[in-house]
Structure formats: structure tokens, C-alpha cells
């Protein structure tokens, strides 16, 4: 989505982006301690900017820091993942309600086109998890944009988005729900097109809580 390459402005920002990437992809394991000296040398920068980057990631909830004892990558246990999906249920449900009120007909049409493209990609790649995930995130991001609420957009596309990608990486493609998800996306978009805010919110909530049920089932059986 926003794939800003290596040309950020400051070293702190570069380090922040690199750390985020490393945490999401699992290059830095959950709960791992972040050694300032180690990371600074690995990134080829001084400890100053690195510390600022860590402070920023702390504000974003990706690391936890205890004074004089260092920072650790946040650990996503079952509880925090359940919490995350619940918060998403609340926020994305509400975003969906707002989107039903504010999205233009043109935006809705384009989003429908996007869903159809996703469908074709799924047919072509026969269930490769990558397209599934990216397509799913795309749809949810467009809904967030449709809410016309910048704070909501920042929350969903920022902190929660990063954590969600960590979850996705951890649970990999445990549950292959791409067909069902796509169908539900269409239903949600139908509700939005009909300007039925109540229904749109309810469907999005079910979509997300259903995803969580599926994931938690898969996890406890494995």
C-alpha cells in the first residue's frame, strides 16, 4: 500500500520503518529483546536515532519498554489477538456504517470492480495466501477511507493494521476462507450501495467476528 522505500527523511524514520518491517515479518521474534547497541550497528547508525525509533514504536504499541531494562517486541498471545479482533469489530463496523452514509456512488462502483479483480486473482493463483491477505486488507482499507473520519482511518491503517499483519503472519493461512470472505465483502458492499447503514455495520461485525472464530478454532486444534 504505502511502500515508501529506503528514502525516508531522517535516520530515525528509516530505522522506525525497518524495525516495523522486521517485527511484522517475524525477523524479530515476538518477545525478543531489542539491544540498542546491536541494532544500531546492524543498521549502521548511532544509538540516538535508534532510541527515538524505539520510542515511536512504543507509542504505536509494537514494542514494550521498561526503564533501564530495554525494549522487547510485543507478544501476540491468544488474548491480545482476541482483543485486536474485537477492537476491529467495533471500529470497522462503525466505519462501515459511516461509509454507507458518505461513500460516493463512484467509489462504490470502483470498490465493486476491485472485488471482481480479487476474485479473478484468486481463481488464477488458486488460493495463494498472499493475494488473499492483500486483497482483504485492500477492501477493509477502502471502507475505512469511506468513513471520512481521519482518526478512524489512522487507527485502522496504522497501529491496528500493523498488529493485524503480525497476526496474519503468525497464523499464516490457517483458515482458507477466501471464498467466504469475498462473498461477505460483496454482501457488505451491497448494504453500503443500498445506503443501509445498520445492515452494513452488522455484516461487517459478523465478518470480523466470524474470522476470529475461525482463527481461534484453528489455533486450538493445532
Partner DNA sequence: TTGCTCCAAATTGTTGACAATCAATCCAAG
Partner DNA sequence: CTTGGATTGATTGTCAACAATTTGGAGCAA
Alpha-carbon Rg for the chain, nearest whole angstrom, is 19
Dist CA 61 CA 165 (whole Å): 14
Residues 35-74 that bind DNA (CB under 7 A): 35-37, 45-49, 51-52, 65, 67-71
Closest CB to its own copies among 14 and 118?
A: 14
Closest CB to DNA among 14 and 88?
A: 14
Closest CB to its own copies among 16 and 184?
A: 16
Q: Does 80 bind its own copies (CB under 8 A)?
A: yes
Supply the minimum distance, in Å, between the C-beta of residue 127 and its own copies. 31
Strands (E), the chain: 33-34, 63-66, 70-73
CB 45 within 8 A of CB 90: no
Q: Does 210 bind DNA (CB under 7 A)?
A: no
Burial-class residue 22 by CB neighbours within 10 Å (0-12, 13-18, 19+). Answer: middle
The cell 503468525 sits on which residue?
170
Rule CB under 7 A: choose which of 34, 63, 143, 144 binds DNA. Answer: 34
Closest CB to DNA among 7 and 106?
A: 7
Supply the minimum distance, in Å, between the C-beta of residue 40 and DNA. 8
Residue closest to 61 by CA, chosen among 96, 35, 87, 43: 87
Q: Which residues bind DNA (CB under 7 A)?
A: 10-12, 33-37, 45-49, 51-52, 65, 67-71
Amino acid at each position: 500500500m504505502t511502500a515508501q522505500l529506503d528514502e525516508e527523511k531522517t535516520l530515525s524514520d528509516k530505522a522506525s520503518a525497518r524495525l516495523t518491517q522486521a517485527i511484522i515479518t517475524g525477523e524479530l521474534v515476538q518477545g525478543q529483546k531489542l539491544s540498542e547497541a546491536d541494532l544500531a550497528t546492524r543498521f549502521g547508525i548511532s544509538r540516538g536515532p535508534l532510541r527515538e525509533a524505539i520510542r515511536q514504536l512504543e507509542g504505536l504499541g509494537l514494542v514494550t519498554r521498561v526503564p533501564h531494562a530495554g525494549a522487547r517486541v510485543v507478544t501476540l498471545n491468544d488474548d491480545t489477538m482476541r482483543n485486536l479482533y474485537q477492537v476491529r469489530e467495533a471500529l470497522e463496523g462503525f466505519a462501515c456504517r459511516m461509509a454507507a452514509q458518505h461513500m460516493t456512488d463512484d467509489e462504490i462502483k470502483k470498490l465493486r470492480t476491485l472485488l471482481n479483480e480479487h476474485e479473478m486473482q484468486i481463481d488464477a493463483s488458486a488460493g495463494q495466501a498472499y493475494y488473499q491477505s492483500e486483497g482483504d486488507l485492500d477492501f477493509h482499507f477502502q471502507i475505512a477511507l469511506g468513513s471520512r473520519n481521519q482518526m478512524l482511518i489512522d487507527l485502522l491503517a496504522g497501529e491496528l493494521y500493523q498488529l493485524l499483519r503480525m497476526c496474519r503472519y503468525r497464523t499464516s493461512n490457517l483458515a482458507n476462507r477466501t471464498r467466504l470472505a469475498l462473498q461477505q465483502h460483496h454482501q457488505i458492499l451491497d448494504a453500503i450501495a443500498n445506503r443501509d447503514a445498520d445492515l452494513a455495520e452488522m455484516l461487517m461485525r459478523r465478518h470480523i467476528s466470524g474470522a476470529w472464530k475461525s482463527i481461534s478454532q484453528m489455533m486450538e486444534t493445532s
